[in-house]
Structure 1
Amino acid sequence: MEPSVFRPNASMYHGPSGEPPLSRTGFLILAVFMAIFTGPAIVLNATVIIVSLMHKQLRQPLNYALVNMAVADLGTALTGGVLTVVNNAQGHFSFGRTGCVLEGFAVALCGIASLCTVALIAVERMFVVCKPLGLITFDKKHALTGIGLSWLWSLAWNLPPLFGWGRYELEGVGTSCAPDWHNREPSNVSYILAYFAVCFAVPFAVIVLSYSKLLWTLHKVSNMEGVEGGAVAKSEVRVALMVVLMVLSFLVSWMPYATLAMVVVYSPDVEIPPLFATVPVYLAKSSTVYNPIIYIYLNKQFRKYAVPFLLCRAGSQVDDEESEAVTTVESRVSKVSPN
């Protein structure tokens, strides 16, 4: 029997002989795999939101973006993760065409808002530490403006499929929905190319440029005469490691998905096994788990309140530590920078 393949121009997710893309066992394995990511994602992101509401110490401008990312990732986990688990358990997409459009829109809206927030966090840290515009304080107004723009940007690029420019369609093994990477109509192809450029390439460029500037500033400060190089060098290493984790998590989560989309757009006749097409989808959705771990639970200030909450214990009574390694370096930069 000829193996089941996902054909980009096909409307049904079945092999050439009409068999489903996966066996019943295969679908159940995917359901369990997705549940392993979805459950912790809901718990971790919900915890961040709850402890932020409970403790006013966490309601600081630089933390607003972290909470916004938790909100977006929680939305992705609830709309994309939970529904994908349910559909895989049933072996097919069970919510009809309208459900597919709504799921695709909701997941894309929250996913791109989360990506934009990652870029916002990179810009925040670069401005706070490097002060490219001089002694400008990052305050609540700046934080809320950035958050609002991240959602407006995502909304602006995920609404068009609802009005005819692009569309939402089944993806992978046919148990979840997303922007249609496979349709070859000119209007759909133009939407996908624009979507890729502004919703993936632009955030990625902002992240790389911002963190490059941050690391370069830390390197210069650590080499300046008269600066306590040991303390700065230690902070530089900590920040560098965190930056590497952030960029790697971004690439692992989204690069396979974006690459697959571009391969399909530029090579419409390529035949992709449905399971292979599903892996990038799940990697992108798995970012809802390690985003809070990398960006929030590595933050000492958040960890002080979140861990006791998760363990159902009273909060720690120790004094607040620095919330980020860059705090130490920020003070050093302020003392030696001509800006």
Structure 2
Amino acid sequence: MHDSFVTHNSSSWQGEPPLSRGGFILLSAVMALFTGPAVVLNATVIIVSLLHKQLRQPLNYALVNMAVADLGSAVTGGLLSVVHNAQGFSSLGRTGCVMEGFAVSLFGITSLCTVALIAVERMFVVCKPLGHMTFQKKHALAAIALSWIWSLTWNVPPLLGWGRYELEGVGTSCAPDWRNRDPHHMSYILVYFAVCFAVPFVVILVSYSRLMWTLHQVSKLACLEGGAVAKKELKVASMVVLMVLTFLISWLPYAGLSMLVVFNPHVEISPLVGTVPVYLAKTSTVYNPIIYIYCNKQFQRYVVPFLLCKEVRIQEDTSEVVTTVEMSTNKVSPA
């Protein structure tokens, strides 16, 4: 069994494999622990949204888009990682590795862009830099299209020769090759980092900062009225705050390690150390559905009964089914 690891994965390391058989099994079990719930929860959000028209609201379009991207990432990255680590090697071959790297990157960057777009949406709705702007269906669909086009634009170049997808970490998953010393490929990684990590991060940081400052001012102004407005806005914004934090925890170590290797080509990173940020980023697929199911009462009313295989019984009350955006901008009276 040990010999098969070396034979099948000889292209990703020299000599002994970086992990023992038990180490690969443990890594597979950890990924299964995160991937299983990610697949179930993201699929549930998508199915429930298709079944109930009350959930087809502008902000929820963006949340469902994130669920689609996270589900794709969990299936193409998470499930394959579970299988490959259980085997102790990647069995996809060169073409399969390229397709895996492309798919995981496409879904992953789309999810990151969607987090940024949601942060921008919250900032526009709460801070009103353009006046009383209403976030409508056409805005949501345009934002969704932008997230996919942006991700596709910057993940296609390795398929055409600028950059490449390669085995990473302990050799059981594929991603953009940030270890390559060829200036041609390194230039792609630098651009990729700038437009796919730095840009969303700056957008999130600016939107989040503006949002929290506005909420702070609202809280001060509303204190004489019991702080009702501030409490409502803070509750709405909590979802964005949690998404920002999970974004930082999940993706910054991976982006930081990539840039460290690019700017310091002579640094020695062991495969095991290089694997930790990779799999930390892959765990992000389970955080987002938990966050917006927990923070979005509208989703809770439908998702929880669905997961428990119970009939959904919702009182027909317009105040029960308003979107988060409407809750933050309008006073809705019961029908």
Structure 1 length-normalised TM = 0.89
Counterparts in 2 of 1:104 and 1:226: CA distance versus 1, 3 Å: closer
The percentage of counterpart residues that share the same residue type is 72
Range moving further from structure 2, 69-78 or 273-282: 273-282
- Tell me, yes or no, if structure 1 residue 206 matches structure 2 residue 203: yes
1:161 is the counterpart of 2:158:
yes
Aligned residue identity for 2:215: L
Post-superposition Cα deviations, 1:35-72, rounded to whole Å, max 9, x if no partner, equal 11111100000000000000000001111000000000
Q: Does 1:140 align with 2:137?
A: yes
Tell me the residue number matched to 1:28: 25
Q: 1:136, 1:119 → 2: CA distance?
A: 18
For 2:3, the equivalent position in structure 1 comes to none
- Return the letter of the residue paired with 2:53: K
Aligned to 1:42: 39
- Paired with 1:300 and 1:85, the residues of 2 have a C-alpha distance of 33
Aligned-pair CA distance for 1:297: 3.4
Report if the CA contact (8 A) 1:223-1:229 is conserved: no
The answer as to 2:103 corresponding to 1:106 is yes
Matched positions, count? 319
| 1:196 and 2:209 correspond | no
The unaligned stretches of length 5 or more in structure 2 are 1-9
User: 1:134 Cα shift?
Assistant: 1.4
**Residue among 239, 253, 256 paired with 1:256:** 253
CA contact (8 A) 1:300 1:321 kept: no
Partner of 1:14: 13
CA distance in 2, matches of 1:242, 1:138: 17
**Cα distance in 1 for residues equivalent to 2:104 and 2:225:** 47
- Structure 1 unaligned blocks of 5 or more: 1-10, 333-339
Q: Cα deviation per residue 1:230-261 (whole Å; 9 max; x = unaligned)?
A: 21333354356444422210111100000110
Q: Which residue of 2 aligns with 1:62?
A: 59
Counterparts of residues 162-311 of structure 1 (less than 5 Å): 162-224=159-221, 228-239=225-236, 241-311=238-308
Q: Distance in 2 between matches of 1:202 and 1:101?
A: 25
Q: Does 1:73 align with 2:74?
A: no
Work out whether residues 254 and 284 of structure 1, in 8 Å CA contact, stay in contact via their aligned partners in 2. Answer: yes
> How much does 1:228 deviate?
2.6
Cα distance, 1:66–1:196 mapped onto 2, change above 3 Å: same
Please tell me the root mean square deviation across aligned C-alpha atoms, in Å: 1.9
Q: Match of 1:224, SS?
A: helix
TM-score in terms of structure 2 length = 0.90
Q: Which runs of 4+ in 1 moved over 4 A?
A: 326-329
Q: Which sits farther off after the overlay, 219-228 or 144-153?
A: 219-228
Tell me how far 1:137 sits from its aligned partner.
1.9
Contact 2:222 2:228 in 1 (8 A): no
Distance 1:262 1:226, change over 3 A: closer
1:141-186, CA deviations, whole angstroms, 9 ceiling, x for partnerless residues?
1111110010000000000000110000001100000000000111
Cα distance in 2 for residues equivalent to 1:59 and 1:322 = 11
Cα 1:225/1:301, change in 2 over 3 Å: closer
CA distance in 2, matches of 1:225, 1:121: 25
The answer for the alignment partner of 1:330 in structure 2 is: 329
The one-letter code sitting in structure 2 at the alignment partner of 1:56 is: K
Alignment-mate amino acid for residue 31 of structure 2:
M
Distance in 2, matches of 1:329 and 1:73, equals: 27
Equivalent of 2:313 in 316, 320, 339 = 316
Q: Report the 3-state secondary structure (helix = DSSP H, G, I; strand = E; otherwise coil) of the residue aligned with 1:170.
A: strand
Q: Does the aligned pair in 1 maintain the 2:165–2:177 contact within 8 Å?
A: yes
